[in-house]
Amino acid sequence: MKINGVVIENTFAEAFPMKATRLIITALNPTWAMNSAQALTGFATSVIACGCEAGIERVLSPRETPDGRPGVAVLLFAMSTKELTKQLQNRVGQCVLTSPTSACFAGIDHGDPLPLGKTLRYFGDGYQIAKKLGPTRYWRVPVMDGEFLCQDVTHLTKAIGGGNFLILAENQTQALAASERAIEAMRKIPEVIMPFPGGVVRSGSKVGSKYKALPASTNHRYCPTLKDVVDSALTKDVGAVLEIVIDGLTSEAISLATKVGVRAACGLGRKGGIIAISAGNYGGNLGPYHFKLHEILK
């Protein structure tokens, strides 16, 4: 299979089950909603070291938010309910509660409850007030610019982490240009995030290492500088490889994000230095979700 002269390798991305939730952060204006969302989703690229994977799903208009103010929807993914609960408490407490004019609401209204304002209310030191609108409970916590409004709970849903594809190019500049095109297209897809910086990761990893303390290490078969010393997966004309990792609430969302991302990356074509599209997997031994490139793109 080829798209615009770019070879699509007959392989698959291997992904694994995760737990996820969505939060809606609002503020007085779009700038402060985004400030809070960016802080909350910081240092959340990989569960290997960050505890969770998180990112901005999309910007919300006032008519899409519970309090009629500008907002941002964020998604958080973790390997367990316990870890997701911990990350929620720490990140909302340190990055939303602290942010001027902010409020925080559940972005998912079904599934098992996860404490949100239910635990953060204690910052009010006994001066917090509960407010119930219909079946939904909110907490009003006094802070120095007024009140922090926070929904009592959000909800947990089953999710998928580790969807991915690789862009193989002649050089670094071309690989990055294709990646940027892919991310721009993928950010229009709901229910997914690309958690690495700018949505792109250069340090693709494999499971394990020669050093016993490390759970993961560089994916040496895709490192261009090692082509002459390892069993490389790269041809001689490949000078750079970049990976886009996708976490999603459903397999359908990840498949669609992969489809639009790959097609956007291939827009530069073979004449633009894009040689091939591949994907990272471990022979099917890591996760039960297999995103087969040819099936997604046919």
Q: Which pLDDT tens digits describe the chain residue by residue (298 residues)? A: 999 999 999 999 999 999 999 999 999 999 999 999 999 999 999 999 999 999 999 999 999 999 999 999 999 999 999 999 999 999 999 999 999 999 999 999 999 999 999 999 999 999 999 999 999 999 999 999 999 999 999 999 999 999 999 999 999 999 999 999 999 999 999 999 999 999 999 999 998 999 999 999 999 999 999 999 999 999 999 999 999 999 999 999 999 999 999 999 999 999 999 999 999 998 888 899 999 999 999 9
183 and 97, same domain (yes or no): no
Tokens of 219: 């994916």
Amino acid at 150: C
191 and 229, same domain (yes or no): yes
149 and 172, same domain (yes or no): no
Residue 297, phi then psi, degrees to nearest 5: -100, -5
Do 21 and 75 contact (CB within 8 A), yes or no? yes
pLDDT at 147: 98
β-pairing verdict for 12-26 and 71-78: antiparallel
Residue 112 and residue 134: Cα distance in Å, rounded? 19
Residue 279, phi then psi, degrees to nearest 5: -155, 155
Q: What range defines the domain where residue 9 resides?
A: 2-14+160-297
Q: Where are the alpha helices (DSSP H) in 158-245?
A: 172-186
pLDDT at 286: 82
115 and 229, same domain (yes or no): no
Give the side-chain half-sphere CA count within 13 A for 18: 29
Do 70 and 61 contact (CB within 8 A), yes or no? yes
Integer CA distances (angstroms), 108 to 11, 86, 201, 244, in order: 33, 18, 28, 26
pLDDT at 285: 83
